[in-house]
Amino acid sequence: MDFSLAPHILGTIAGFPITNTFWVTIFISLLLILVFGITRLKMRDVPRGLQLFLELIVEGSHNLIKESSGSDKVANRLHPFALTVFLLFIVGNLLSFIPGLPSVTFHGGSFYRTATTDYNLVLILAMFFLIIMQIVSITTGGILGYFKKFINFSSPLNFMLGLFEIIGEAAKLVSISFRFFGNAFAGEVLVAVLLFIFPYILPLPFMFIILLSSIVQPAVFALLVMIYMQMAIMVKEEKSKSH
């Protein structure tokens, strides 16, 4: 059993290390593109089968964001980001439940490892969305207004509020990345230990909990990203209306 935090390096391409979580992420991304691309080419007026299933996911998630934001314009902006993150993570989590797949080894390490158990990936995605939120803030009030939110010497109170704003932005990165990574990694370790000690019957309830968590956690991650993005967009729209 490999419980290391660092992903296993399967090989290198032009000096670039290829880890088990990296190839899984690329594979799932290509799989999603292929599935949606084929479905798009074979769309019918009356959806059924895979097309019906995908339309339920797309339209359902869009309606959920629209209801929570109260704006169809905001939903159109947030929906592609939130749905992409959700599908990328949930498909990877569910594939890990294929019997025997996580136990396949390559060069002394696990060949398949859920991408969400690699903090590098989760952190990069969280940083990506955080950067987008900062760009939205800059386009809202300009560069001077953006930095004034963090550095303001007009009064001691405003200076302290600026420091709290900096802490708040850093807390967003921590809350998104650590929460998701911790749950995903701890879940895999728990199931692996139970299967090693008690290979029959006992791990089943815990595996059901991990399966439920594998579905809920991507939704929570996408929801947090959606809320932070929504806050930035709504502030921008309110300021534009005031002018």
Reading the chain (243 residues) residue by residue, the pLDDT tens digits are 555 677 888 888 888 888 888 888 889 999 999 999 988 888 888 888 888 888 888 888 888 878 876 777 777 877 887 888 888 888 888 887 777 776 788 877 778 888 777 888 888 888 887 887 777 677 766 787 778 778 888 888 888 888 888 888 888 888 778 877 777 777 677 766 766 776 666 667 777 777 777 777 777 777 777 777 777 665 555 555 555
Query: Is residue 3 in a domain?
Result: no
Sequence length of the chain is 243
145 found inside a domain: yes
Chain center to CA of 194: 27
Cα angle for residues 130, 217, 17 (degrees, 5° grid): 65
Is 2 a member of any domain?
Answer: no
Q: Is the whole-model pTM more than 0.85?
A: no
Number of domains within the chain: 1
Q: Which of 38, 222, 231 is nearest to 125 (CA)?
A: 222
Whether 32 maps to a domain, the answer reads: yes
- The boundaries of the domain holding residue 171 are 9-242
Look at residue 54 and tell me if it is in a domain.
yes
Cβ neighbours of residue 151 closer than 8 Å, sequence gap 6 or more = 159, 162
Q: Is residue 4 part of a domain?
A: no
Give CA–CA dist 164/168, Å, rounded: 6
Does 224 map to a domain?
yes
